[in-house]
Amino acid sequence: MKIICIGRNYADHAEELGNQIPDEPVVFCKPDSSILQPRNPFVIPPWSKEIHHEIELLLRIGRVGKYIDKNHALSYIDAITVGIDFTARDLQKKLKEKGLPWEKSKGFDGSAVIGKWVPGSLKKKDYQITLLKNNLIIQNGNTSQFIFSIEEIISHISKFFTLKTGDVIFTGTPPGVGPITAGDQLEGHLDGKSLLSLNIR
Ligand code: ZN
């Protein structure tokens, strides 16, 4: 399976990082080795001093598709959840300045946290995603604020990458990204329901 991520999909988050609002989805991938195994803590890697949390809505692909039409895109999803796209912001900044690929800052071991899947087809389009750090809400967004809709994301990605059963799409983070430190406890909610809980070491 592969993990495909969308960057800058909320205008407010693009602005907080000083990025332009994109005219087409920003796409990058994480290797399957980036998945944090369930119930494991996230261990801050020794080579970064600035790991940021990014809570996101996650889509799981349920069947193979290429050049998927927007009108049929939702039928390719078989489950959703929330996840965290951990980002080594200090390293990402360096790589971006040099015009180099971001992969090391986004695809390192443990950087993809996947919550408990809620199976089934999408019954609605607006989802509230929330991240709590030490019981305080630090990120809160609604997918109605997406620059690119779920259908547009799936259609766009499938022009370049054949989507396969089990692939996971990270759909971008709302504003409020920030650093984590050892001892933090993170919890991710989808429409107020806790689907992810994680300790930082
Ligand atoms: Zn992200």
Burial (CB count within 10 angstroms: exposed 0-12, middle 13-18, buried 19+), residue 103: middle
188 C-alpha vs ligand 1 centroid, how far in Å?
14
- Strands of 136-142's sheet, edge to edge? 136-142, 128-133, 185-190, 193-199
Rounded to two decimals, the pTM is 0.95
Neighbours of ion ligand 1 (CB under 5 A): 54, 85, 173
Q: Distance between CA atoms of 84 and 131, rounded to whole angstroms? A: 9
Cα dihedral 9/10/16/19 (nearest 10): 40
For residue 85, how far is its CA from the centre of ligand 1 (angstroms)? 5
Over residues 10-57, the pLDDT tens digits come to 988 777 777 777 889 999 999 999 999 988 999 999 999 999 999 999
Q: From ligand 1's centre to the CA of 6, what distance in Å? A: 6
The tens digit of pLDDT for each residue in 95-150 reads 999 999 999 999 999 999 999 999 988 877 799 999 999 999 999 999 999 999 99
**132 Cα–ligand 1 center, Å:** 16
